[in-house]
Amino acid sequence: MEGGENIFLREELEKRQGKGFNFSALELVGTRDSQQDCVKWIETDDKKFAVGMADGHGKDGAEVSNLVVEIANAELKKLPEDFKFTKKYFSDLFDRIDEQVRGKYENGGTTFLLSLIDEDNLWIAYVGDTQLYIGAKDGSIRRLTVPHRYKENKKEQDRLDFLDGGLLISDNGRSYLNITRSIGDKDFSLVSHMPEVQKVELTDEVKYIVAGTDGFWDVLNKSSKRQKKLRKILQDGGSPEEIISKINIEILSNVKLLDNATLFLLEFREKAKENVFHPNE
C-alpha cells in the first residue's frame, strides 16, 4: 500500500455458477466512510439473467443505489419467460425507476448499469460513468460504454453544448455533478435519466464481460502500468473468482482508494454462435 493508508472497511467477493457461465463480484469501500456502490445478481428465469451495478452519490447515495437495483430486480422478475427485449423496453424501465426514486430522498442520485443476457445476446443499458468491457478469446478487449461525463462523451457535449467546463450545477446552486446522466437527482434538471442502450451478439469469440464503477476505472486510468497489469491478468485467464482476486491483490491493494471500487466479471463457458461479436448501435 502507498503509505499504508488504504483502508478496506468492507471487502465482499460474491461468486455464482450456472449453465454456461461463471460470475464473481468484488465491492471495496476504500477510504470512504460508507459503501455507496451496489452490485447485484438478478435472477430471472432459465433463459435470461442480469447484473445490476449502481454507484450512488450525495448524502443518500447508498440508499438510492440499492433501491434502484432492487426496483430493476423486481421489474425483471415480472417478465414472462418468452419476453422479447427492445431498446424501448430499457428506456421505459429506466423511466419507471427514476419516477419511483426521484424525490424520495433529500440528497442523492446514482449511476446505473444493467447488463442482461438473453440467450445469445447481451443487452447493456446505462446512465453515468460505470463502464463495461467485453473480452474475446484472442485476448482483445473492447469498451462498450462511454462514460456520461461531459468532457469524455461527444453525444453529451452535443446535448449540453452550452455548458462551460462540463460541470452540472444544481437548480439551487448548492451542488454539482461531473456526470450528465443519472437516476434520482431531483435537483439537477439538466441531468437525463434516459439510458444509452446496446445489443451485442454473443458469439464463439466472446470470453467474458467485466464492469466496474468509476472508483475502479479511475485508478486504472491514472497509470499505464496498472492498465497493462489488468490486461495481463485478463489474458492469463482463470476463473472469475481467481481473476477478481488477482486484480484486488496485484492492483487495488497497492493504491490508496479515495472512492468505493466495485467490479464484476462474467465468464462464458459454453459456445454461443459463430465468428465475432458485433455491437449494434
Q: pLDDT of 98-123, one tens digit each? A: 999 998 988 899 999 999 998 789 99
Residue 117 neighbours by CB under 8 Å, 6+ apart = 21, 48, 49, 50, 123, 202, 266
pLDDT-derived band at 16 (thresholds 50, 70, 90) equals: low
Q: What cell does 72 get?
A: 430493476
State the Cα–Cα distance between residues 206 and 267, nearest whole angstrom. 9
State the Cα–Cα distance between residues 35 and 55, nearest whole angstrom. 9
CATH topology of domain 11-146+193-269: Phosphatase 2c; domain 1 (3.60.40)
pLDDT at residue 52 is higher than 90:
yes
Q: How confident is the model over 263-273, as pLDDT tens digits?
A: 999 998 754 33
Q: How confident is the model over 61-73, as pLDDT tens digits?
A: 999 999 999 999 9
Distances 77 to 16, 120, 257 between C-alpha atoms, Å: 19, 19, 35
Q: Among all chains, which residue has been given the C-alpha cell 500500500?
A: 1
pLDDT at residue 95 is higher than 50:
yes
Q: What confidence score (pLDDT) does residue 97 get?
A: 97
Q: Among all chains, which residue has been given the C-alpha cell 437525463?
A: 192
State the Cα–Cα distance between residues 28 and 11, nearest whole angstrom. 5
- pTM (predicted TM-score): 0.87
Distances 71 to 61, 74, 86, 95, 231 between C-alpha atoms, Å: 15, 5, 19, 12, 34
Distances 160 to 98, 172, 244, 250 between C-alpha atoms, Å: 21, 19, 37, 39
pLDDT-derived band at 6 (thresholds 50, 70, 90) equals: very low
Q: What confidence score (pLDDT) does residue 176 get?
A: 76
State the Cα–Cα distance between residues 260 and 57, nearest whole angstrom. 11
Q: What confidence score (pLDDT) does residue 127 get?
A: 98
pLDDT at residue 281 is higher than 50:
no
The residue that leads in pLDDT, 270 or 156, is 156
pLDDT-derived band at 165 (thresholds 50, 70, 90) equals: low
pLDDT-derived band at 14 (thresholds 50, 70, 90) equals: low
Determine the average pLDDT of the residues in 208-232.
Answer: 92
Q: How confident is the model over 191-216, as pLDDT tens digits?
A: 999 999 999 998 888 999 999 999 99
pLDDT-derived band at 186 (thresholds 50, 70, 90) equals: confident
